[in-house]
Amino acid sequence: MPEPYTSNHSTPSEDLRILGKTEIRIAPVGLGCWPIAGMTSLDVNDQDSLRTLRAAIDMGINMLDTAYGYGANGESDALIRAAIAGQREKVVIASKAGMHWKPDGNRCFDASPSRVVQECEESLLRLGVDEIDLFYLHAVDPKVPIQDSAGAFAALLEQGKIRSVGVSNVTVEQLNSFSDVCDVAAVQPPYNMLQRGIEKDLVPFCIERRISVINYWPLMKGLLAGKIRRGHTFAPEDKRLSYEVFQGAKFERAQQLLDCLDDVAKDVGKTLAQVVVNWTIHQPGITATLCGAKRDWQIAETAGAMGWRLPDAQMNRIENLLGR
């Protein structure tokens, strides 16, 4: 068991990056608050979650990524509210609307304009803030034309309830349609060493339009932190086994990659997770990456991916391993 985090780290020196075309500046590693919402991660409790949030801020991570649907009743937002008391100015709060949980436990995508506005207003109250710095459409609602959802975000921007707008889980076409109605500062797609589909179209489009790409799953739910190796036994309630990358040939391919990345980590004197996250934040178009964590030591480790850069020789070695 790693040592608990102790608050004596200096803030990484890496410069903050510009969010889209806004005045907002973000560190290249953000804290993903899905695990602390307690819906899928095992062994989560409020004390550890608060320590995780505080360690993130202490380590120079300024973006906290939450959503209306992170927790059945806004559990992630309540923890953020407690963690930022007295230090609101240090953090950039990113949240999302358009996905909620029904009383029967099923997920519901509703991005109708009235629902987007309602979720924003409830999130402001839950978070105890006057404005949300970055507010995303969580996912496209097939029942609602995307331009109608975009209209609600434009109105919230106009009213000063949010400072900038993002869209998550969208294609280039959907992003284009949304942008016709409302300026977009950031997109939030899945992206990691094993899932690089966005490099073909979404990333070049965003670079051209000066839209930030803030990806999720850099560690692929802990797989690329090296915690799930061959022979790992998943607890029956661990949902990760349902993802293809944890099964069969894809899992073995990931293990072979990890075997080689272990050598890279040894050579540069960093941990595996730090190498993976450092690679991610230095890919073209990536403004920041969202690392989930449920323990302070986890986010302290991934925050250590900031403030340095893998040497070109190691970047090339990784590129060869990934077989581009």
Ligand X SMILES: NC(=O)c1ccc[n+]([C@@H]2O[C@H](COP(=O)([O-])OP(=O)(O)OC[C@H]3O[C@@H](n4cnc5c(N)ncnc54)[C@H](OP(=O)(O)O)[C@@H]3O)[C@@H](O)[C@H]2O)c1
Site for ligand X, rule CB under 6 A: 32-35, 41, 65, 168-169, 188, 216-217, 219-222, 225, 227, 273, 290-294, 298, 301-302
Q: In terms of CB distance, is 164 or 168 closer to ligand X?
A: 168
CB of 44 to ligand X, least distance (A): 8
Collapse the DSSP code of 76 into the 3-class scheme (helix H, G, I; strand E, B; otherwise coil) and give the result: helix
* Closest-CA residue to 203 (of 194, 214, 193): 214
Q: In terms of CB distance, is 273 or 286 closer to ligand X?
A: 273
Are residues 250 and 244 in contact, defined by beta-carbon separation less than 8 angstroms? Answer: yes
Q: In terms of CB distance, is 49 or 298 closer to ligand X?
A: 298
CB of 168 to ligand X, least distance (A): 4
CA distance 117 to 133: 15
Question: Which residues neighbour 139 within 8 Å (Cβ) at sequence distance 6 or greater?
Answer: 98, 99, 109, 111, 168, 169, 170
CB of 227 to ligand X, least distance (A): 4
Residue with tokens 């986890």: 298
- Residue 260 CA, distance from chain mean position: 25
Kindly state the DSSP code that residue 159 receives in the 8-state scheme. Answer: T
Q: In terms of CB distance, is 168 or 313 closer to ligand X?
A: 168
What is the DSSP annotation of 293-323? -SSHHHHHHHHTTSS----HHHHHHHHHHHT
| Residue 243 annotated to the active site | no
Tell me the two tokens of residue 297: 């030591």
CB-closest chain residue to ligand X? 292
CB of 195 to ligand X, least distance (A): 11
Tell me the β-bridge partners of 134.
94
Annotated catalytic residue, options 68, 70, 191, 216: 70
Are residues 70 and 37 in contact, defined by beta-carbon separation less than 8 angstroms? Answer: yes
CB of 312 to ligand X, least distance (A): 25
Q: In terms of CB distance, is 107 or 159 closer to ligand X?
A: 107
CA distance 168 to 71: 18
**Catalytic annotation, residues:** 70
